[in-house]
């Protein structure tokens, strides 16, 4: 994702989605290293959609 192409609202959503990903990993007692790249992409997409709907 290229942050230069995002507006301020989209950057806020990305930051919130990353925070949600961290929260989900913590709740699952996992580290990012234990998650595949595809797994993280799916989790991030889910978190991004959730936060995008709220804004």
User: What pLDDT score was predicted for residue 14?
Assistant: 95
From 14, 13, 33, select the one nearest 25 (Cα to Cα): 33
User: What pLDDT score was predicted for residue 54?
Assistant: 85
Please provide the DSSP assignment of 4-22 as one string: GG--HHHHHHHHHHHHHHH
Residue 55 CB burial class (10 angstroms; 0-12, 13-18, ≥19):
exposed
Residue ranges making up the domain that contains 47:
3-54
Tell me how many domains the chain contains: 1
For residue range 11-46, what is the model confidence (pLDDT) as tens digits?
A: 999 999 999 999 999 999 999 899 999 999 999 999
């Amino acid at each position: 994702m290229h942050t230069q192409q995002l507006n301020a609202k989209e950057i806020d959503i990305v930051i919130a989605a990353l925070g949600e990903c961290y929260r989900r990993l913590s709740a699952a007692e996992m580290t990012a290293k234990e998650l595949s790249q595809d797994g993280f992409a799916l989790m991030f997409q889910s978190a991004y959609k959730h936060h995008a709907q709220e804004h």
